[in-house]
Structure 1
Amino acid sequence: MKRVSPAGKLTRSILDEVLHAAGRELVTARSGGLLLTTSTVFGGDFLLTRVLASADPFYTVSVQGTESFSDVPYAPLAPLLQDSPDIDFESELDVLSAVRDRIQRLTGGRSCVVVVRGPEHLDSASIALLTRLAESPSVGLLIRSGPRSKLPLDLELVLADGFIEEVHIPVLTAADVREYFDSILGATLPMLSSTLVCDVIGGSPVLLEMVTRDGELKDLIQLRDGVWILPRELSLTDRMAERIFSLIADYAPEETDVLLTVALAHQIPVEVAVHFWGVDPVNALLLEGALSREEDAGTIWLRAAPPILGAAIRHQVEPFRSRRLWENVHEHLTDLTNTPGIIHRVLWKLSVGVTVDDHEVLTAATMANRLDQPDTAELLLRRLPSDVAADHSGVFAAAEVQRARTEFYNGRTDLALARLRRLVLSDPGSEVLISVIHFIFQINLATGLGASALSEAIRRHTATGPAGKAYESTLIVRLGRELQQLTAGIIPKNPVVEATGVPQDPREALCWHLVSGELLYRRGDLLGAAAELDLALDLVLDHEHLRNHGGYIVTRLMFLLAGGGFWDELAALQTKVTARRAPWIKRFTGFWELVEGLTALRRGRPLTALAHFRTAVVVLRARDIKQFRPLAAALATYTAWLIGDPSLSDFVGEYRRLTHLGPPERRMLAEAYMAVVGEAPASASTRQRGLIPVEAANPQIRAELSVLRVQIGADDAVDVAIERTAGLSDPRAQSLHTVLTALASGSVSELVDAAEFCLDRGQDLLVPVCLGVLLTQSPGSNSKVVRSASKLLARLDPELQRLHPQLASLRHATRLTSREATIAADVAAGKTAKQIAKQYGVSIRTVDGHVESVLTKLGLSSRKDIGKRSP
């Protein structure tokens, strides 16, 4: 599928490869022609032009099927019959001869491609003649079709016979998009960004190239240190929008109106579209792939597909046309209750000059923030005054909360907190104060900042009178206090969640599951904690008014699962939040790379891990709302140190330049990783306030810290680490405990068992520790030990085998000599010991000795296993 140059880089994109191969196929004698359908990808003419460019025929002639002449034999072939007036149209041979003669005169026997458009309107006689014509080695058919389902039966039969082949335009995966940016555009696109780009373009390689092969791309996507940094909301330049908009230029007026209306409204009920334009244009657009449909609460909604097409339409549609469409359908949009629909309805009204009241603008801005669209929210909020003193309705004060949210979501936490402090001092009213308290609490959970602002907001709300005091005693406030205690390392004496069941109210239930999850986390039950946090996530995904809590839950849950080594559960979670298009994952790009790096490192792929950590560091420099950059820099430093990568000094410098080291537990982890490398802790001016003792950290963090102390070489570190990992049930802690116990005992069998235990639980990075001690304690000539070690080595990722320093002696001990390699090849070829001995003039005993050595070094059990593994 991809052609790779000697340097390992793609010389052409996937689409280039497909179209180039199709073009070359078109001018060979191996097939009669090609069918190019566009049911799953836009840009049929764009693709057709590229195929023709690859084919480079001497002459091209076009044939067009039209509905008005669909029953007239040979009418579409008029361009091929221009200079043949005396044709007997009753004779197929006479018509075929005339067409062949004209092509011969035009080409002189050289290559010719007949481009056929509108094949659904071709008559049977024309199809039969074109098929016969393509039997000539110098003539190829290139049929440009719409959806495959519209092809006439005659063409379907020709296609089934294999005489005409279909060009299969690939639907790209996120991995394809990532490879395209790396190899074609020359820099790394983060994994989550790859998923988001793939979703926006609907996997269309045509749309990918239309966006990325534009000179204005650099104005939309920043390139920093070899990493593409996508903006939160990927906009389009005028040129990009014009290109994409041109893909729908051939649609009929009814189809165009349907598509434009759906795009401007974001989505509309299918019955509205059918009411105005009928079933046929709607079905045609669904078949073409320009519309998608989704069912929600019993209503089938139409959307422009893929999303970037809708964005291009909104960018390009003319105001007059937009106004006309609005006047047609606005009465049917007033009852929209879905968040995107409400936002786009307000934006549409504003764009065509319809008056929108302040409450409606505020609602749309609030919903835009819920969908993690702070740029859209900010645009809407500009229409609302910010003078809270003159605010009698409470709208302007509520708008200030949303302005603070846009600042927080754009990484300006200090500005958000400053705005909220000013708002609290202005006494905005009880309802607004409650929303301020909820928001500052969210900021505090995510970043550890804003504790004083939260206390002041609560104090002022309590002082408002009976309503404030009543609020202080509500379940949600009690749960919030316990959640703060738990995140500070304090387990409440009588937890609320153990005294009450799950509440019915979604917001209270969300807090209940969060507290329950954190409580289990503090008690060392990571899987139980993950289950509670997952229930909280389900509530967020099912209730739009809770969406603002999704970011905290997902980061907490992903970090917990990655830290505990629950790889399958982690993959399921990542699929869940991307498949359901959780809006706030767009702000996780750097954190996502950090988790991918941690996963790769512990699973024994250090070089891959280092690449992820490096990407995470670059992304988090620009946007680090939840303050994971210190840990990313520390993990990158540690990984570079572990494998001796020359980038070590760069990452050390990155860490030293930090002015904030993140929340306490992550800061402790980061400093411990840096201590292993030999970096002293940061100065007191850099270390933030609110430090917690190691004993107050959750058991998972305590276990990691104790193991890192072992690497540093601290006194009694092994005993402390064994104690702290005992009783924990997650795969990571169990693997650590097993390895530490084996190291303390020094038993060869325990070291082997510990290594196998780690491999079975996906903790491959711990295996070299066991193997290093194993070979140190046992002489290299101990064939039993070497064979066991070799078996374990063979199960490790090649990256780890090649790069881990503790495996160097094992690699040396298991390297075959030239004679052993030769004999291993002979055994693999099926030769007996007697045949090999005779071939080399040695004794059978000598051959058997070499074979035994090969088995030992490769960790194999019998001679037949040698044939299954190349030495």
Structure 2
Amino acid sequence: MSREMQRWGDASKAFDPGKKDAGTGSHMQWSVAARGREMARVKDALGRPEVLGVVITGAQGVGKSSMGRLVVSSLDNDPYVIHLRSASTGEGAPYSCFSFMLARLPQKYLASPTGILQGITSLIREDAGGRDVILVLDNPGGTDEMSTGVLMNILLTGAARIIAIAQQPSDLPVDFHWFLQEGRLAEVQLETLGHEQTAEVLATMLGHRMTAALVSRLHTASGGNPLLLESLVAEQRAAGNLVLLNSVWTLRGDLMVESAHGLEEVVRARWAKESPEAREIVEMLACARQVPLGRLAAVYDAKILADMEDSGLLAVDDTPERWTSLRQQYVADIVRSWLTVPRRRQLRATLLDGREPDAADMSEQEVLSYAALSQDAQVPLSPSHALAAAGAAVRHFDPIFALDCAEGIRRDDPQWVAGQCRKAEALILMAEYDKALTVVEDVAPEQIDALPARGLAAYFAARGNAMRWAHGGAEEAAAVMKEARERLAAIRDRASDGPAVQEELAAAERRLDLEEFVHAAYLGNYKDVIEALETASADQDPSHLEHSLACAVILIEAYSVTGRETDALRLVDFVGQRMEALPETHGLRNYFRLTAFCANLLAGQWRSCLRMLGSGPLASPSELQYRGAALELAVGLANLFAGRGAKALDFLLPAVAQLEHRSVMGLLQLAYAATAFAYAQLGDSPNAYSYLAMENDAGKSGSFLSDRGREFCSDMARRWLGEPEARERLITAAREDLAHGRYTTAGLNVVGATVNGRDEDFRLMEEIAGHRQGPLARLSALLAKGCLAHSPRIMMEAADLAVSLELDAMEARCVALALDYSRSVSDHTTLRQAQARLDRLSQLLVELPVVPQGNAPLLTERERQIARMAGHGVSNRDIAKDIGVSVRTVEGHLYQVFAKLSVSSRRDLLGLI
């Protein structure tokens, strides 16, 4: 077996290359999908007469040997292929590469090196029988001098071409370097697949859309190795973990690698060739997950560690601690499954060297490593270690591990209450909201009475948070905060006047203030807390930084919703700079990112939303597993806002697939409604109505913003589908928001409601725009003024502003109205300009939000709705079922539509409606 085939990460043995795996394609198809470009370069080089062959180079584990086999099997002229092997280390015996031929040579050729050379060349030509000959040389570094001479003669005489496989050109025999420098040998370098390349390969082989979490998980687990990627996909499909839901590939849970038979065979093959000390290091890291390099070097030989890193077994990060882990996660999972509990305890004792660390002195990574090592060895964690590990695991998006750690805290431990809070946080991350509330309430009254001020505030904050997300508990959370205030007041009455005590009480007060701010924002009561938020966010005390930033993030949301969009965006920039002082894993960073996204979206800056989500470090696979649905939903909403329904669906459908499995933050209803809106933008009424039905049947939603977004998307979908009742619901929502000072959401609702609107609606739009900031407010003001005055000039000005915001649907709406208004006042210049722009927009948008009326007879909203559905091929019976009328009513409306538009077939309606 070649050295390449023996490496870690080579999953070639897990599959029969000629066997089809159900739904995933053959091994050859996977290889072509992953290495098609490189394969074409190799074949092109082999086809050039001046080139003697190709050298395939790349790091260990990248798939060079597989690439060589792939090229050979795909050549069209059925060449005669000879696989050569050299010694794995050092110089082999003379002619070691051709030893299998020496025994076949007649005695007359064996008398001299020249005779052997001629005999081997003749034998190759005889065996080839006139076919082209391809030599495949794996591991050329150990090629002896005599074999090199034979190879040179074979190549120079044209008897064969070569495919040499090496990690780098310096591994080649010296004589081959001249061929490379002179261009007689071509080099094709292989790299591991990047994240985008992995996504492309999966899309090619699996088809359909995929969730971002799936791509991230598979890319991380495979390390960019195409063969391992293929193996992982097959194993996950066989285990039922990788499933196709509504044309979207997604994972039901985390990757299940321990039971992956194919991968285990790969690991065992490599395991047998490692030294005992290297095996122990692998076992150690399989249990501890990551260990500082200095600590490993204190236990094991530094040279062995360096060799393992060079060979691709270990990965060492560039932090000051130089955290070391196994490069391939699947290796750790499989090796760990082999280890008995006594062996795990022995490894733990070796690493700790009899010293149990103090939880107060440990970093997050240290406490997670220590907890993992102890859990695997079934050594109970101390309550302080368990509490610290549970909190760190939640911050690293590993709620399962957090729950495992917190389970070790007993009811009579002082850490019980805090441990229940950590459990609740983990369950909330998993969208198990009712369980989270049950857990956090599983605390005895006397335990609450014994809490210090800060602990009391933290407990009631966790309880209020769980209560908000649990079904029907949002209104009760206010009562919980009232109880917390009363208890804190009682503690204050008993407390001394010492500075430390007063600071403890002040910190508890700030924590409860923050929780009340969060609750007010959840309910949409922004006006009630804006002044207090402004005061709290202006606090410059360094010791209050976290509280100040948290309040500022809520203030961003409050500004965004209450018409102060420009102030919100300025605050986003300011808070973003201050946020750098917090650790990367701080939960406030995720809250800020989500709030900044909403601020940009509500301000009409959808491009900024996409840049924001695409900038910065990529979300970890663990984060995507629990928050990937929210991120994909956000991207989908940004595209939906811009009128790009088709692009939005690429993200909304994966978001729905994940939210149906785990409805994080109560976003499933919003995702259904947004998907319906996207389909409505595309004129796909059957799918739009299907998702509207699911939105109506889904459970509770979440915060005010997600609820309002759901209602807006649902009503906008129905308005695009021609339902007249949708306009009234949008106007009603706008007036409700206006009464509570929520001018931004009121403005968005009234803009959506005023397609073919009334003068009173446009006056309302103009009034609301006067309370708002930014270009989106100016756009709605211009739209209102233009519609009230029937001014083509103002409508074209509004269209120009929509262009600056890249809002295609809004631009089309303004241009269509400008076209009608210019026709009515005989403004031929504007008429021509508007018509040209509308023609261009008609190529971008599947359906125009407003169709110019011209001289055509006006249709009622119901007639327009039925005509649009009929034009897209929906039967009369299905139309009747979708909109809740009789088939006879549908037929009557269509008769009127055909008469008004002077058409005779349903197909003709598409260009007119």
TM-score (norm 2): 0.75
Q: In 2 relative to 1, CA 809–272 (structure 1 residues): closer, same or farther, beyond 3 Å?
A: farther
Mapped pair 1:716 → 2:768: no
1:650: Cα distance to partner? Answer: 0.2
Superposition pairs of residues 443-482 of structure 1, within 5 angstroms = 443=466, 449=474, 451=477, 452-460=479-487, 462-463=489-490, 466=494, 471=505, 474-482=509-517
Residue in 2 that maps onto 1:242: 264
Q: 2:123 aligns with which of 85, 102, 105?
A: 102
Q: In 2 relative to 1, CA 264–795 (structure 1 residues): closer, same or farther, beyond 3 Å?
A: farther
Mapped pair 1:440 → 2:463: yes
Superposition pairs of residues 698-737 of structure 1, within 5 angstroms = 698-711=742-755, 713=757, 716-726=760-770, 728-737=772-781
Q: 1:379 aligns with which of 377, 398, 404?
A: 404
1:712: Cα distance to partner? Answer: 7.5
Aligned with 2:206: secondary structure? Answer: coil
Residue in 2 that maps onto 1:656: 696
The aligned amino acid for 1:342 is V
Mapped pair 1:407 → 2:442: no
Residue in 1 that maps onto 2:369: 344
Q: 2:33 aligns with which of 10, 14, 37?
A: 14
Q: Deviations over 1:180-227 (max 9, x none)?
A: 444422332124543454344333333321211336455223432222
Residue in 2 that maps onto 1:423: 443
1:160: Cα distance to partner? Answer: 4.1
1:323: Cα distance to partner? Answer: 5.9
The CA distance in 2 between the partners of 1:186 and 1:582, in whole Å, is: 21
Mapped pair 1:266 → 2:266: no
The CA distance in 1 between the partners of 2:374 and 2:106, in whole Å, is: 59
Q: In 2 relative to 1, CA 722–179 (structure 1 residues): closer, same or farther, beyond 3 Å?
A: farther
Residue in 1 that maps onto 2:873: none
1:23: Cα distance to partner? Answer: 7.8
Residue in 2 that maps onto 1:570: 609
Aligned with 1:292: secondary structure? Answer: strand
Mapped pair 1:69 → 2:100: no
The aligned amino acid for 1:269 is P
1:599: Cα distance to partner? Answer: 1.9
Quick check: 2:208–2:247 contact (8 Å CA) kept in 1? yes
Q: In 2 relative to 1, CA 235–761 (structure 1 residues): closer, same or farther, beyond 3 Å?
A: same
The CA distance in 2 between the partners of 1:317 and 1:34, in whole Å, is: 44
The CA distance in 2 between the partners of 1:167 and 1:719, in whole Å, is: 67
Superposition pairs of residues 145-160 of structure 1, within 5 angstroms = 145-146=166-167, 150-151=171-172, 154-160=175-181
The CA distance in 1 between the partners of 2:154 and 2:786, in whole Å, is: 78
Residue in 2 that maps onto 1:846: none
Mapped pair 1:666 → 2:706: yes
The CA distance in 2 between the partners of 1:209 and 1:471, in whole Å, is: 58
The aligned amino acid for 2:556 is G
Quick check: 2:816–2:838 contact (8 Å CA) kept in 1? no
Mapped pair 1:188 → 2:209: yes
The CA distance in 2 between the partners of 1:132 and 1:541, in whole Å, is: 63
Residue in 1 that maps onto 2:798: 754
Superposition pairs of residues 711-860 of structure 1, within 5 angstroms = 711=755, 713=757, 716-726=760-770, 728-779=772-823, 784-785=829-830, 787-789=832-834, 792=837, 798-800=843-845, 802-804=846-848, 806=850
Unaligned runs of 5+ in 1: 1-8, 685-690, 813-871
1:741: Cα distance to partner? Answer: 3.8
Residue in 2 that maps onto 1:597: 636
Residue in 1 that maps onto 2:894: none
Deviates more, 1:360-369 or 1:728-737: 728-737
1:770: Cα distance to partner? Answer: 1.5
The CA distance in 2 between the partners of 1:306 and 1:697, in whole Å, is: 54
Q: Deviations over 1:245-296 (max 9, x none)?
A: 3685586426555555444432233344455555555444444544333233
1:660: Cα distance to partner? Answer: 1.7
Quick check: 1:346–1:361 contact (8 Å CA) kept in 2? yes
The CA distance in 2 between the partners of 1:300 and 1:37, in whole Å, is: 29
Identical aligned pairs, as a percentage? 17
The CA distance in 2 between the partners of 1:695 and 1:301, in whole Å, is: 56
Q: In 2 relative to 1, CA 350–746 (structure 1 residues): closer, same or farther, beyond 3 Å?
A: same
Residue in 2 that maps onto 1:696: 740
Q: In 2 relative to 1, CA 582–84 (structure 1 residues): closer, same or farther, beyond 3 Å?
A: closer
**CA RMSD for the aligned pairs?**
4.2
Q: In 2 relative to 1, CA 395–244 (structure 1 residues): closer, same or farther, beyond 3 Å?
A: farther
The aligned amino acid for 2:512 is V
Q: Deviations over 1:451-503 (max 9, x none)?
A: 14444455455555646996366434334434444552223445433663253
The aligned amino acid for 2:505 is Y
1:790: Cα distance to partner? Answer: 5.9
Q: In 2 relative to 1, CA 653–137 (structure 1 residues): closer, same or farther, beyond 3 Å?
A: farther
Residue in 1 that maps onto 2:162: 141
Residue in 2 that maps onto 1:607: 646
Mapped pair 1:370 → 2:388: no
Mapped pair 1:638 → 2:658: no
Quick check: 1:200–1:308 contact (8 Å CA) kept in 2? yes
Quick check: 1:119–1:151 contact (8 Å CA) kept in 2? yes
Q: Deviations over 1:584-603 (max 9, x none)?
A: 44322222222222222233
Equivalent residue pairs, number: 785
The aligned amino acid for 1:83 is R
Q: In 2 relative to 1, CA 65–258 (structure 1 residues): closer, same or farther, beyond 3 Å?
A: same
Mapped pair 1:559 → 2:598: yes
Aligned with 2:55: secondary structure? Answer: strand
The aligned amino acid for 2:227 is V
Quick check: 2:390–2:422 contact (8 Å CA) kept in 1? yes
Aligned with 2:59: secondary structure? Answer: coil
The CA distance in 2 between the partners of 1:776 and 1:378, in whole Å, is: 63
Q: Deviations over 1:633-669 (max 9, x none)?
A: 2222233233321312201211221232432343234
Q: In 2 relative to 1, CA 24–417 (structure 1 residues): closer, same or farther, beyond 3 Å?
A: same
1:69: Cα distance to partner? Answer: 1.9
1:530: Cα distance to partner? Answer: 2.2
Mapped pair 1:300 → 2:322: yes
1:627: Cα distance to partner? Answer: 1.6
Quick check: 1:192–1:592 contact (8 Å CA) kept in 2? no
Residue in 1 that maps onto 2:386: 361
Aligned with 1:500: secondary structure? Answer: coil
1:305: Cα distance to partner? Answer: 2.7
Aligned with 1:579: secondary structure? Answer: coil
The CA distance in 2 between the partners of 1:397 and 1:346, in whole Å, is: 20
Q: Deviations over 1:573-624 (max 9, x none)?
A: 3244543649544322222222222222233422222343333333222222
The CA distance in 1 between the partners of 2:153 and 2:164, in whole Å, is: 15
Quick check: 1:606–1:799 contact (8 Å CA) kept in 2? no
Q: In 2 relative to 1, CA 74–208 (structure 1 residues): closer, same or farther, beyond 3 Å?
A: same
Q: 1:83 aligns with which of 90, 94, 104?
A: 104
1:355: Cα distance to partner? Answer: 5.5
Q: In 2 relative to 1, CA 562–207 (structure 1 residues): closer, same or farther, beyond 3 Å?
A: farther
The CA distance in 2 between the partners of 1:47 and 1:125, in whole Å, is: 27
Q: Deviations over 1:795-841 (max 9, x none)?
A: 759542x433646899x9xxxxxxxxxxxxxxxxxxxxxxxxxxxxx
Q: In 2 relative to 1, CA 498–208 (structure 1 residues): closer, same or farther, beyond 3 Å?
A: closer
Q: 1:164 aligns with which of 185, 192, 196?
A: 185
The CA distance in 2 between the partners of 1:414 and 1:337, in whole Å, is: 33
The CA distance in 1 between the partners of 2:256 and 2:706, in whole Å, is: 35
The CA distance in 2 between the partners of 1:333 and 1:34, in whole Å, is: 55
The aligned amino acid for 1:528 is R
1:108: Cα distance to partner? Answer: 3.1
Q: In 2 relative to 1, CA 419–563 (structure 1 residues): closer, same or farther, beyond 3 Å?
A: same
Q: In 2 relative to 1, CA 752–693 (structure 1 residues): closer, same or farther, beyond 3 Å?
A: closer
Q: In 2 relative to 1, CA 279–33 (structure 1 residues): closer, same or farther, beyond 3 Å?
A: farther
The CA distance in 2 between the partners of 1:311 and 1:770, in whole Å, is: 58
The CA distance in 1 between the partners of 2:568 and 2:324, in whole Å, is: 42
Q: In 2 relative to 1, CA 263–28 (structure 1 residues): closer, same or farther, beyond 3 Å?
A: farther
The CA distance in 1 between the partners of 2:464 and 2:158, in whole Å, is: 74
Aligned with 2:678: secondary structure? Answer: helix
